[in-house]
Amino acid sequence: MKLMIVDDSNIMRQAIEKYLANKKFTLVGTASDGEIAMVLFKKHLPDIVTLDITMPKMDGIACLEQMLKIKPNTKILIISALKDPVTGLSALKKGAKGFLPKPFTAVQLQAEIDEILGDAK
């Protein structure tokens, strides 16, 4: 499965990559803003995307909508410091498969990914 990580924080991108290292994903790209994310998305068509909401140039909600227009079956996990339930619900209504508030642990991220992929124990 192809994975793409999108977050404006380099530390967060590295943490997500590290936390998912035990999963059988091929990391096809990381992006620090929505515009870069869309270029990489169109090039690699990942199966699963971790996506921050608050980013420069294009926010995560706009990215989510564009990604799903291009590849509707993409599994997108919104990961955001915005703990506002309305934001998470909005993302889910627009097609995100999950919402994980920051900060989170490796166990929480892995459980959310398993849930999205239907591998929940």
Per-residue model confidence (pLDDT) at position 86: 78
The gap from C-alpha 61 to its chain's centroid, in whole angstroms, comes to 11
Q: Summarize the confidence of residues 55-68 as an average pLDDT.
A: 94
Q: What is the pLDDT of residues 80-101, one digit of tens each?
A: 887 677 777 889 999 999 999 9
Q: What is the pLDDT of residues 12-30, one digit of tens each?
A: 999 999 999 999 899 999 9
Per-residue model confidence (pLDDT) at position 65: 97
**Strands 98-101 and 48-51: what pairing?**
unpaired
Per-residue model confidence (pLDDT) at position 121: 46
pTM of the model: 0.94
Domains of the chain: 2-101 (3.40.50.2300)
Q: Determine whether 56 is exposed, middle or buried from the number of CB atoms within 10 Å of its CB (0-12, 13-18, 19+).
A: exposed
Maximum C-alpha span of the chain: 38
